[in-house]
Amino acid sequence: MIKKVPDILIRGGTIVTASEAFKASIVVDKGKIISISTQTNVHADEEIDATGLHILPGLIDTHVHFRDPGMLQKEDFLSGTRSAAQGGVTTIFDMPTTQPVITSKQQFLEKVKLIQPKAVVDFALYGGAGVENLSELPGLAEAGAIAFKSYMVAPPSQRTHEYIGAFVIDTASLYRVMEQVKRTNRLLCLHAEHDNTIRFLTERLQQDGRRDASAHADSRPQFTEALAVSEALILSNALQTRIHLLHISTAEAVSLIRLWKKNGSTTTAETCPHYLLLTKDALKRQGPNAKFNPPPRDESDIRALWNGLADGTIDIIVSDHAPHSKQEKDEGKENIWVAPPGTPGVETRLPLMLTEVFNKRLTLFDVVRLCSTRPAEIFGLYPRKGVISVGADADFAIVDLERKWTLRCDELETKARETFLFDGCDVRGKCVATFLRGKSVMKDGLIVGTPGEGRFVRTEEAKHQMG
């Protein structure tokens, strides 16, 4: 019997893991890595020369808002996953705050059916968790929710009824949600800001006539994040519930998380490029485009975040890709309160962080750990995702570390390109090819993946691991 030749051979590149880099050939068959070898006599149906390039595990972005269904003027699943592929991201986790908010098993399954035909990369989905839908959480978990999302602060509009099932703005409600999420064996992901204080400060600033962009930061000072983080840590410890703290932005929160982790907490945490690279001065320069929640902070917070990444206090870097149209953002130029919060970023997380490798803030191993391997571990997808090893999905981001280029908003795939905060930023390190389960989805800046090739990643396919 004639032995079948494998599908793909990638030779000549340097494989990068969370702990080492080495030159080897990767052999792929039926979407999986079947061997990693230094042998030169291997052949395949398709052979790819990666000489001079570095091969990273496909990036995982566990925090995106692709706005589908219901807000397609901002983004849809096709434009969002194309943007992901452009940035070397092969798996995304979409948040539940679409229209409708995904708070039931039926809504969850309907969303999967709607978006899967558009998906260029693999995807997982969150379920929304609030006191109004406690009875729905087991069904959402059964349907395949990767985790649950709750906001500890009220929604950014008066249309509160549209967000039922995702907001827990008092301690008793948070306790009840944590208690029920624990029964599902899923992770609870928390947007931690202190609602009552923010509402009070916002109302006072508005009464004082403040409408300028900087008022947004003044309405949500650093301690409002620390208050909510502290509450979440205390309750999760009391209930022994796993939590993941979203988009951490302050030195105070980093200190709290570090302390609790030293005392044995399994809490995990994330931050984003816009918190690592921008201060609140961005609000003065870029107005409503720089409005996001929590807001940009001070240089001292940036230093604390980098230190938190270095010592493991902060586990991962995500984009919190939250796109809005230019028209929506521009409405806040004269009155910051009416601008929607959020900024796009799924496409540019990798080049921004590769640039920080050259700035000596990160190593290439750190980029893999923070953007690929650790996200897979936290959410139970490791070792299928987030690593280059035999048996893993053949998901790769192939990068040219020497490529110097400039981020241009008009070259982005996202619909929110006109609101991009890093337009004109010089970067170093470019993703030149993205592979999803052995298939090329992006090559030399062109999206070559077919909508519908992305698959829904179900939690049943992996064991959840403690953080």
Q: Which amino acid is at 253?
A: A
DSSP secondary structure letter of residue 418: G
Identify the CATH class of 58-382. alpha beta
Tokens of 368: 């893999």
Question: What pLDDT score does 164 carry?
Answer: 61
The SS3 assignment for 107 reads: helix
Q: Nearest 5°: CA angle at 164, between 91 and 375?
A: 20
CB atoms within 10 A of CB 174: 25
Burial of 35 (0-12, 13-18, 19+ CB in 10 A): middle
Return the bridge partners of 29, or none: 32
Q: Which amino acid is at 424?
A: G
Are the C-beta atoms of residues 148 and 104 closer than 8 Å to each other? no
Are the C-beta atoms of residues 166 and 148 closer than 8 Å to each other? no
CA nearest to 353, candidates 366, 342, 334: 366
CB atoms within 10 A of CB 466: 10
Sign of the torsion formed by the C-alpha atoms of 315, 372, 177 and 94: positive
Q: What strand order describes the sheet that includes 59-64? A: 59-64, 89-94, 122-128, 147-151, 188-191, 243-245, 268-271, 316-317
Q: What is the reported pTM?
A: 0.96
Q: What strand order describes the sheet that includes 32-37? A: 32-37, 25-29, 8-11, 46-49
Return the bridge partners of 316, or none: 270
Return the bridge partners of 16, or none: 21
CA–CA separation, 164 and 139 (whole Å) = 17
The SS3 assignment for 465 reads: coil
Are the C-beta atoms of residues 83 and 111 closer than 8 Å to each other? no
DSSP secondary structure letter of residue 392: S
CA nearest to 432, candidates 444, 447, 419, 449: 444
Question: What pLDDT score does 76 carry?
Answer: 98
Question: What pLDDT score does 462 carry?
Answer: 38
Q: Which amino acid is at 372?
A: S
Q: How far is CA 58 from CA 123, 372, 394, in A?
A: 13, 7, 8
* All residues at 6 or more sequence positions from 456 whose CB lies less than 8 Å from its CB, including other chains: 112, 116, 119, 122, 123, 124, 125, 144
| The residue to which tokens 């925090």 are assigned | 63
pLDDT in tens, the chain (467 residues): 455 889 999 999 999 999 999 999 999 999 999 999 987 788 899 999 999 999 999 999 999 999 999 999 999 999 999 999 999 999 999 999 999 999 999 999 999 999 999 999 999 999 999 999 999 999 999 999 999 999 999 876 544 445 566 889 899 999 999 999 999 999 999 999 999 999 999 999 999 999 999 999 999 999 999 999 999 999 999 999 999 999 999 999 999 999 999 999 999 999 999 999 999 999 999 999 999 999 999 999 999 999 999 999 999 999 999 999 999 999 999 999 999 999 999 999 999 999 999 999 999 999 999 999 999 999 999 999 999 999 999 999 999 999 999 999 999 999 999 999 999 999 999 999 999 999 999 999 999 999 999 999 987 443 433 33
Tokens of 219: 């309405």
